Chains A and B, each alone.
Chain A
Amino acid sequence: MSTLSQDHSLGRMSDNTIDRPGERAPLVLNMDKFSEVTATVCRVNEADKAPFAWYVAFAAALGLLSVLGACIGYLILTGVGVWGLNNPVMWAYDITNFVFWVGIGHAGTLISAILFLFRQKWRTGINRFAEAMTIFAVICAGTFPGIHVGRVWFAYWLFPIPNQMEMWPQFRSPLLWDVFAVSTYFTVSLLFWYTGMVPDLATLRDRAKGKIQQMGYGLFSLGWRGSNRHWHRYERAYLILAALSTPLVLSVHSVVSFDFATSQLPGWHTTIFPPYFVAGAIFSGFAMVVTLAVPARELFGLKDLITLRHLDNMNKVILVTGCMVGYAYSMEFFIAWYSGAMYEKFAFINRAFGQYWWAYWIMVSCNVITPQLFWFKKIRTSIPLMFVLSIFVNVGMWFERFVIIVTSLANDFLPSSWDMFTPTWVDIGTMVGAFGLFFTLFLLFCRYLPMIAMAEVKAVMPQADPHGAGAGKHGHHGHGHAHSHDGHGH
């Protein structure tokens, strides 16, 4: 599939991964009018019926979501004893899932903020749904600290709110920094996502046939008319939000890593954690984007907008961050030996050969070996292979958090207090159920919101360049025109 294959014979292009000197590889294929972009993207939202596969997926996601609801309900009615936690291992699946989901979010922010500031034009094809993924992942992440406190109705104690006990959260504790980091992250990501979507929502509003759609999209497009002034303000706001999000890519997961790194526990108490966690987060996040993008572009006919080149680029990011993660794993071992600290040494040997050896080796094979396959362009551009490999990476990254959290806790300084953690069905149900929440939200997003940032994609087409090839045909510059063109052309 990686070559200029079947479609080519029909005069359609499907492979844009080849770099020709002196020429920019196209990021939008088989389209030379802005209206085609609009039509392709809006078709998903405007169709009377979603593709059959959407209904199947949605039913499955709702099923898993109800598993999550049932498990959480049972947990609240009974208490955290329904999880397999025990005395040394008082964090296990709950915090593993939390870190896993927060990590997933990071790719969205990296794509939308950092790649934006670095003028990486290929981000436009994937940023919208990567950002959506960020938001839904952070929602999933947020549920876990909320429910693991035991008495859920007191979860608001996480926030510094004045109360009759005159009790405040411990400001010196990274657990509180976590609350701030994640809630800031969620707020900024949501604003960024929504701001970027306003022009596209206006496009949907202008094209909408039904009254409900007109009102719904109308409400959320905030009266956007695509005037020059609107675009000016919009681009300012977008730039500011991108600048605000950029440090978050690094800070959020660093703070999450402090939950562990600032403790004294061997296996947690390491200075490499912040960069290691950030690399891991981006690694897992990009894997998730690939996992989502591959079926989505297939299902909704977006192959010309999310092209092979986009996927190829993402796989390269996975390769790079995968190497960083592998480096971090080996560096942890090196320091454990080099420090001469007996407990450190034990913690790491125990990780690889102790009672959780299988988890460790799943992690290593998925996170270190898998990404190495992406050195080969054949694999980077093969749809089925990258899909499978990206799932491996997701699995591996879940296990990474499990290994860090559980193996370190289970065998601490004092052999007499060692214990083994075994998950209960509620642990497993909650973990699986979180995917239900994630996919429910994601599928609703695909169906009802513009999955691709149309306005931005148009801006990176050669036709948008006033000095370029398309200038003659369209006359006006950029997306400003692109929008009004769509708005009134239908």
Chain B
Amino acid sequence: MSRFLFPKWSNLLLPTIIAAALTIPLYAVFFVAYGLSPKTLEVGYQPKQPVPFSHALHAGELGMDCRYCHTSVEKAAHASVPPTQTCMNCHTQIRPQSPKLEPVRESYETGLPVEWTRIHKLPDFAYFDHSAHVNRGIGCVSCHGRIDTMEVVYQKSPLSMGWCLECHRNPEINLRPTSEITNLGFDSATDLTAEDREALKKKYHISPSEDCSTCHR
């Protein structure tokens, strides 16, 4: 049998292979760095809720304080989602017949809670505490964004470890007086000077920890 000769076009294979050998590892690194991280999977997560409850209306237009509903945010690890009773404080009077409030009335009668869909969720191995942040001059807006303009709440921040650490390494820029914690319109970057923030840092004794055991207990 005669000798096999590769056709001329196969000369192109060599540069292709070299290019692939160079780019595939790059792709793999990129894929791991961005593709596999929860960052890209979770930001913007906006599930449909059983009741079309609007933060833009209640917290924005009506100007209700977050703590009216998220009562434990200053005291506990979890901010807590309000019970039906909280809604009914107003909605026994305001729009008592609204079809949008049907599930809330039903829950009020049966005593079974409204089944809100959870949006922000850290893995169980990561420990987070709202009170540790809120009482030390970190406002809701730093982590949750402008909730008071959201018709339906969505996840604004990645909640990845890298994201937590970025602030723990450099918390100054987010510091505000504790009186402004729930004031989402307040912007520490423009409404405060660098000296103000430095002063707050001293006042609240801020030195966030980066030790693994802070968040992995």
Which positions in A face B, CB cutoff 8 Å? 156, 161-167, 206, 208-211, 214-215, 218-219
Minimum Cβ distance to chain A for residue B99 (Å)? 42
Residues of B within 8 A of A163 (CB): 32-33, 36-37, 162
Provided the pairs A164-B160, A165-B162 are in contact, do residues A214 and B3 lie with their beta carbons within 8 angstroms? yes
Residues of A within 8 A of B39 (CB): 164
Determine if B165 is an interface residue (Cβ-Cβ < 8 Å). yes
Interface size in chain B (residues, C-beta < 8 A): 18
* Given A162-B32, A163-B37, 15 other A-B residues pairs in contact with their CB atoms under 8 A: A156-B32, A161-B32, A163-B32, A164-B37, A164-B158, A164-B163, A165-B161, A166-B165, A167-B162, A206-B3, A208-B4, A209-B1, A211-B1, A211-B4, A214-B3
Residue of A nearest to B2 (CB): A214
> When each residue 1-45 of chain B gets 1 if its CB lies under 8 Å from chain A and 0 otherwise, what string results?
101101000000000000000000000010011001111000000
* B29 in contact with A162 (CB, 8 Å): yes
Residues of A within 8 A of B160 (CB): 164-165
Residue of B nearest to A206 (CB): B3
* A-side interface mostly: loop
Residues of A within 8 A of B165 (CB): 166
The interface centre, meaning the residue of A161, A163, A208 with most chain B CB atoms within 10 A of its CB, is: A163
The interface centre, meaning the residue of B3, B4, B39, B160 with most chain A CB atoms within 10 A of its CB, is: B4
Residues of B within 8 A of A218 (CB): 4, 6
Residues of B within 8 A of A208 (CB): 4
The interface centre, meaning the residue of A165, A208, A210 with most chain B CB atoms within 10 A of its CB, is: A165
Residues of A within 8 A of B33 (CB): 161-164
For the complex, what is the distance from the CA of A27 to the CA of B161, rounded to whole Å?
A: 63
Q: Which listed residue, B29, B38, B162, touches A166 by the CB 8 Å rule?
A: B162
Residues of A within 8 A of B37 (CB): 163-164
The interface centre, meaning the residue of A161, A164, A210 with most chain B CB atoms within 10 A of its CB, is: A164
Residue of B nearest to A167 (CB): B161
For the complex, what is the distance from the CA of A218 to the CA of B3, rounded to whole Å?
A: 10
Provided the pairs A156-B32, A218-B6 are in contact, do residues A164 and B162 lie with their beta carbons within 8 angstroms? yes
Residues of B within 8 A of A210 (CB): 1
Residues of B within 8 A of A165 (CB): 160-162
For the complex, what is the distance from the CA of A252 to the CA of B161, rounded to whole Å?
A: 34
Residues of B within 8 A of A211 (CB): 1, 4
Minimum Cβ distance to chain A for residue B197 (Å)? 23
For the complex, what is the distance from the CA of A18 to the CA of B63, rounded to whole Å?
A: 101
Minimum Cβ distance to chain B for residue A230 (Å)? 15
> When each residue 154-198 of chain B gets 1 if its CB lies under 8 Å from chain A and 0 otherwise, what string results?
000010111101100000000000000000000000000000000
Residue of A nearest to B6 (CB): A218
Contacts A/B (CB < 8 Å), 15 sampled: A156-B32, A161-B32, A162-B29, A163-B32, A163-B33, A163-B37, A163-B162, A164-B37, A164-B161, A165-B160, A166-B166, A167-B161, A167-B162, A206-B3, A215-B4
Minimum Cβ distance to chain B for residue A285 (Å)? 29
* A166 in contact with B161 (CB, 8 Å): yes
Q: In chain B, residues 35-77, which have Cβ atoms closer than 8 Å to a Cβ of chain A?
A: 36-39
For the complex, what is the distance from the CA of A323 to the CA of B197, rounded to whole Å?
A: 69
Residues of A within 8 A of B36 (CB): 163
For the complex, what is the distance from the CA of A218 to the CA of B2, rounded to whole Å?
A: 13
Residue of B nearest to A164 (CB): B37
* B32 in contact with A214 (CB, 8 Å): no
Residues of B within 8 A of A162 (CB): 29, 32-33
Residue of A nearest to B33 (CB): A162
Minimum Cβ distance to chain B for residue A207 (Å)? 10
For the complex, what is the distance from the CA of A161 to the CA of B33, rounded to whole Å?
A: 7
Residue of B nearest to A223 (CB): B6
> When each residue 102-127 of chain B gets 1 if its CB lies under 8 Å from chain A and 0 otherwise, what string results?
00000000000000000000000000
For the complex, what is the distance from the CA of A164 to the CA of B166, rounded to whole Å?
A: 11
Q: Give the 6 A-B CB pairs with smallest separation, nearest first.
A: A164-B37, A166-B162, A214-B4, A164-B160, A165-B161, A162-B33
For the complex, what is the distance from the CA of A218 to the CA of B160, rounded to whole Å?
A: 50
Residue of A nearest to B36 (CB): A163
For the complex, what is the distance from the CA of A450 to the CA of B1, rounded to whole Å?
A: 22
Residues of B within 8 A of A214 (CB): 3-4
For the complex, what is the distance from the CA of A214 to the CA of B36, rounded to whole Å?
A: 42
Residues of A within 8 A of B162 (CB): 163-167
Minimum Cβ distance to chain A for residue B76 (Å)? 26
For the complex, what is the distance from the CA of A215 to the CA of B162, rounded to whole Å?
A: 50
Residue of A nearest to B1 (CB): A209
For the complex, what is the distance from the CA of A210 to the CA of B3, rounded to whole Å?
A: 9
Minimum Cβ distance to chain A for residue B128 (Å)? 15
For the complex, what is the distance from the CA of A209 to the CA of B39, rounded to whole Å?
A: 56
Minimum Cβ distance to chain A for residue B152 (Å)? 25
Residues of B within 8 A of A215 (CB): 4, 6
Residue of A nearest to B31 (CB): A161
Residues of A within 8 A of B32 (CB): 156, 161-163
Residue of B nearest to A219 (CB): B6
* A161 in contact with B29 (CB, 8 Å): yes
Residue of A nearest to B40 (CB): A164
For the complex, what is the distance from the CA of A165 to the CA of B38, rounded to whole Å?
A: 10
Residues of B within 8 A of A209 (CB): 1
For the complex, what is the distance from the CA of A208 to the CA of B4, rounded to whole Å?
A: 9
Residues of B within 8 A of A156 (CB): 32
Residues of A within 8 A of B29 (CB): 161-162
Minimum Cβ distance to chain A for residue B121 (Å)? 15
Residues of A within 8 A of B161 (CB): 164-167
Residue of B nearest to A216 (CB): B4
Residue of A nearest to B163 (CB): A164
Minimum Cβ distance to chain A for residue B95 (Å)? 43
Minimum Cβ distance to chain A for residue B91 (Å)? 41
